Amino acid sequence: MVEATWLKRAEDIGIESFYYKEAPQETIMDILDRTMAGESVYPDTPPTVPMGLAGSEKFSERELDVLRLMTTGMSNSKIADKLNENINKLFFDKEKGLYFDQEDTKRFSKLSNSLAVLCGAADPAIAHEICEKMLRGDGLTEITLSMNTFFFDALIKCDKEGYKSDILRIIEEKYRPMVDYGVGTVWETELGESDFDNAGSLCHGWSATPIYYYSILKNN
């Protein structure tokens, strides 16, 4: 793949001309002749490289950073350490002690903070504080039923025995209305069929996670 940053880096350090051999609109000799004649020759953009169903120009700077790490030959654990370092630099709010979703909006959610705990970005002491804040709410955007698995797994990673009763309580609170309603299935969201302009699913497999958590928490 053509390194997308080479073009800007070359301009920044004063390289007179730049040539991508992967996209030869002109030969290298043409570029050399024009440069020797005093012209600075640069392509407008790096060549596009197909990557799966997308072109390389569709990738964000953050996504390209991840790709660069994956091609360095580093072990998965070393790559994870580097990514977690960047997560803490870019997405951790020290004042709130929480991770936000996007750099521009600074929206705080239970899902993003659960993922930060699970991927190891948050060290154990901060992870415990985050879990406490998620349990209290603390203005965090709520998490949907199917995504609760990340929330519960974050609590278990932090302190399985300490948070076991909280997980079972939350399951009881969120799923009891479905049992009382008598449909015999689990809903996509807590609003049931009224969600998504009355298009909410009342039979949603991704929300069936209580089966798993009862098996690992109530039997141990």
Instruction: Look at residues 116, 120, 111 and name the one whose alpha carbon lies nearest to residue 77.
Output: 120
Cβ–Cβ < 8 Å for 33, 58: no
The predicted structure's pLDDT at residue 1: 52
Q: Per-residue pLDDT for the chain (220 aa), expressed as one digit of tens each?
A: 567 778 888 889 998 988 887 666 778 888 899 999 999 988 877 777 787 888 877 888 778 888 888 888 888 899 899 989 989 998 999 999 999 997 777 899 999 999 999 999 999 999 999 999 999 998 999 998 989 999 999 999 999 999 999 999 999 999 998 999 888 899 988 888 899 999 988 898 889 999 999 999 986 5
The whole-number pLDDT of residue 181 equals 86
Pairing mode of beta strands 98-99, 54-55: unpaired
Half-sphere exposure (Cβ direction) of 112: Cα atoms closer than 13 Å: 18
Query: Do the beta carbons of residue 188 and residue 201 sit within 8 Å?
Result: yes
Predicted TM-score (pTM) of this structure: 0.75
Question: What per-residue confidence (pLDDT) applies to 103?
Answer: 75
Specify the pLDDT at position 8. 82
Please give the pLDDT value at position 147. Answer: 92
